[in-house]
């Protein structure tokens, strides 16, 4: 289905060409003076230069041609040559009704050539509890993935676990110090290793920081950890078994938290999974003469002629032959290309890693791992700061675990919701959690991803203002009206969206009609914040409409039915948008 702006522009093109001007000037935009008009066209001003004419004359001529249009109720030329446009109610009503009939997509067309697109997000390191620092990658990545999928592509979210660094050697050595008798450390052991993990998640969460601390303070321990890492990476039997336990215990725990956040990965691959691809990849780079030795390490130049500053060479293998962050990221691209034929890969990672990704993309292209037409993009996000403007910390200065953050907000929201005594306990808990997720995600996503933002929980959890709970509150209000309408014995969808009967109704329709344009922009720019801004304006327009009009129980039953149809579209548009943002609405609050 064409977007409303396409229809408006088409009509204006007709006006320009019938008046004898190039139709390329018929560029229309949403009005920046909503008090004066709904859409506007400034094309006469640009055309004036080419035709050496007074812009006002051109605008007047164009307006004459479209005076009988059934799209515009007002098309007027105003000084110095703007064309101000207002839409006919019937046209707008028909458009929104077509959205209503297209139940799943509300008129938003799928891309004509679907692609296979990877979204690499999450990226936690194993054996460490998820903390607030992991929030942005999860929240933004999940939304970007959903936006890509809704556009009609195959979207694959891959968590890309950090499971291949020296931290594993540190964990192994610390465990050995604590439980030296475990068979994994006995090189003469040839039997079957126990099925059960030798540690629980809470032990593992203690082992990791201890090992990491020791490694910094104690040179011997550090060397042992490096050696253990090397052994693990070269197939040590006991360590490989331990590694499996580390991943399993850690992933089970992570999954719980990501599930609570409504973040779901299609793939749970990690750096370790790239190992089988590394030797061939390195050999190929050597054969192509792309890598050379520098201080014992294997490096690749990634400079390009237009660079203003020279880039340091990219280390492909460490001097001990071990792979590093670059190696595993390159190896990951190998299987994403070979096994999935990915057309595009997006990385949702802290923006401080921009140099890493710039070099990675260049190396991947240079080495032919990705064909020239494969599109790679780094979506770097900014820092989540506390109210003091510094990176967010708990009251006593520590990093806050995601689990405690979720528990705290769940409880706080529960206290608010429980005040409505009609809501049973279980539903109140579930609703509280939905509000919690909306608060966190909307608070984050309503900011442009690349910017730093203030993680202000008091604001995010407020039921008023531009917040997740306000959005849910509005949806719940719509649901409740629709429910009451049905309970009164009416069929929903008994009517169609018709010509608006008053200003607030028209204003709501105007906002809704922009749905597919907003979706397209959010997709093109991979920008969830555009959806947030739209959702907010829909809620605002709806609440105005709601306060200005009695909806249920009016005498004019046709009008009531028409309002209900409009509410149905509003509800569906909002539900679709929040789904793309990654949260859900309860039935009541």
Given the rule CB under 6 A, which residues bind ligand ARG?
120, 123, 125, 160, 162, 329, 347, 349
Q: How far is the CB of 199 from ligand ARG (least distance, A)?
A: 22
Nearer to ligand ARG, 383 or 462 (CB): 383
Nearer to ligand ARG, 15 or 123 (CB): 123
CA 306 to CA 304: how far, in whole Å? 6
The Cα diameter of the chain in Å comes to 94
Nearer to ligand ARG, 60 or 353 (CB): 353
Nearer to ligand ARG, 348 or 511 (CB): 348
Residue with tokens 């891959």: 158
Q: How far is the CB of 557 from ligand ARG (least distance, A)?
A: 57
Nearer to ligand ARG, 158 or 571 (CB): 158
Nearer to ligand ARG, 9 or 274 (CB): 274
52 CB-contact burial (10 Å; exposed 0-12 / middle 13-18 / buried 19+): exposed
493 touches 565 (CB < 8 A): yes
Q: How far is the CB of 349 from ligand ARG (least distance, A)?
A: 4
Long-range CB contacts for residues 210-215, cutoff 8 Å, separation at least 24: 210/174, 211/167, 211/170, 211/171, 211/173, 211/174, 211/175, 212/167, 212/170, 214/170, 214/173, 214/174, 215/166, 215/170
CA 453 to CA 351: how far, in whole Å? 13
Q: How far is the CB of 329 from ligand ARG (least distance, A)?
A: 5
CA 326 to CA 311: how far, in whole Å? 15
Q: How far is the CB of 276 from ligand ARG (least distance, A)?
A: 18
Nearer to ligand ARG, 318 or 492 (CB): 318
Residue nearest to ligand ARG (CB): 123
Q: How far is the CB of 159 from ligand ARG (least distance, A)?
A: 9
140 touches 381 (CB < 8 A): yes
Q: How far is the CB of 232 from ligand ARG (least distance, A)?
A: 18
Alpha helices in 298-399 (DSSP H): 325-338, 354-366
User: For 338, what's the count of Cα atoms within 13 Å in the CB-facing half-sphere?
Assistant: 11
Nearer to ligand ARG, 165 or 469 (CB): 165
Q: How far is the CB of 138 from ligand ARG (least distance, A)?
A: 12
CA 140 to CA 528: how far, in whole Å? 7
Q: How far is the CB of 271 from ligand ARG (least distance, A)?
A: 8
Nearer to ligand ARG, 160 or 434 (CB): 160
CA 3 to CA 338: how far, in whole Å? 37
Distances (CA, A) of 385 to 243, 351, 511: 34, 14, 33
374 touches 368 (CB < 8 A): no
Tell me which DSSP letter residue 125 carries. B
CA 274 to CA 335: how far, in whole Å? 8
């Amino acid at each position: 289905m064409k977007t409303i702006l396409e229809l408006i522009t088409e009509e204006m093109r007709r006006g320009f060409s019938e008046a004898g001007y190039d139709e390329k000037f018929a560029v229309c935009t949403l009005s920046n003076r909503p008090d004066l008009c709904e859409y506007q066209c400034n094309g006469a001003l640009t055309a004036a230069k080419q035709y050496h004419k007074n812009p006002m004359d051109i605008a007047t001529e164009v307006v004459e041609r479209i005076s009988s249009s059934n799209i515009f109720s007002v098309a007027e030329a105003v000084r110095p040559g703007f064309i101000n446009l207002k839409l006919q109610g019937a046209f707008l009503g028909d458009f929104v009704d077509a959205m209503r009939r297209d139940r799943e997509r509300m008129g938003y067309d799928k891309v004509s050539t679907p692609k296979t697109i990877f979204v690499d997000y999450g990226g936690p390191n194993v054996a460490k509890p998820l903390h607030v620092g992991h929030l942005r990658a999860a929240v933004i990545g999940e939304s970007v993935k959903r936006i890509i999928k809704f556009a009609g592509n195959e979207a694959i979210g891959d968590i890309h676990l950090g499971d291949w660094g020296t931290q594993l050697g540190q964990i192994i050595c610390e465990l050995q110090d604590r439980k030296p008798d475990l068979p994994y450390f006995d090189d003469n052991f040839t039997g079957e290793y126990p099925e059960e993990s030798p540690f629980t998640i809470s032990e593992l969460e203690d082992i990791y920081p201890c090992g990491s601390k020791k490694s910094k303070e104690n040179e011997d321990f550090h060397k042992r950890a490096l050696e253990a890492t090397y052994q693990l990476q070269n197939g040590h039997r006991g360590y490989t078994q331990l590694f499996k336990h580390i991943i399993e215990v850690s992933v089970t725990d992570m999954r719980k938290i990501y599930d609570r956040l409504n973040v779901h990965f299609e793939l749970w691959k990690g750096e370790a999974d790239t190992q089988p691809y590394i030797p061939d990849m390195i050999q190929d780079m050597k054969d192509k003469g792309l890598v050379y030795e520098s201080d014992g390490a294997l490096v690749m130049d990634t400079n390009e002629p237009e660079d203003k500053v020279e880039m340091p060479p990219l280390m492909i293998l460490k001097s001990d032959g071990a792979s590093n962050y670059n190696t595993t990221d390159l190896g990951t691209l190998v299987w994403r290309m070979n096994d999935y034929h990915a057309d595009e890969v997006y990385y949702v990672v802290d923006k401080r890693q921009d140099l890493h990704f710039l070099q990675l993309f260049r190396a991947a292209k240079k080495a032919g791992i990705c064909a020239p037409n494969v599109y790679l993009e780094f979506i770097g996000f900014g820092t989540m700061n506390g109210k003091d403007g510094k990176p967010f910390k708990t009251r006593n200065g520590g990093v806050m675990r995601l689990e405690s953050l979720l528990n705290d907000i769940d409880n706080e929201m529960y206290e608010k919701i429980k005040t409505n005594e009609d809501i049973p306990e279980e539903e109140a808990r579930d609703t509280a959690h939905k509000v919690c997720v909306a608060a966190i995600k909307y608070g984050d996503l309503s900011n442009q991803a690349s910017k730093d933002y203030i993680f202000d929980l008091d604001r995010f959890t407020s039921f008023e203002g531009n917040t997740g709970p306000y959005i849910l509150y509005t949806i719940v209000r719509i649901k409740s009206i629709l429910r009451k309408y049905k309970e009164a014995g009416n069929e929903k969808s008994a009517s169609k969206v018709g010509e608006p009967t008053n200003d607030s109704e028209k204003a709501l329709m105007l906002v809704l009609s922009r749905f597919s344009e907003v979706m397209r922009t959010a997709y093109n720019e991979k920008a969830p914040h555009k959806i947030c801004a739209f959702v907010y304006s829909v809620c605002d327009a709806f609440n105005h409409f709601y306060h200005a009009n009695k909806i249920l129980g009016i005498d004019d039953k046709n009008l009531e039915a028409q309002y209900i149809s409009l509410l149905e579209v509003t509800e569906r548009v909002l539900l679709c948008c929040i789904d793309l943002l990654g949260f859900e609405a309860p039935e009541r609050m």
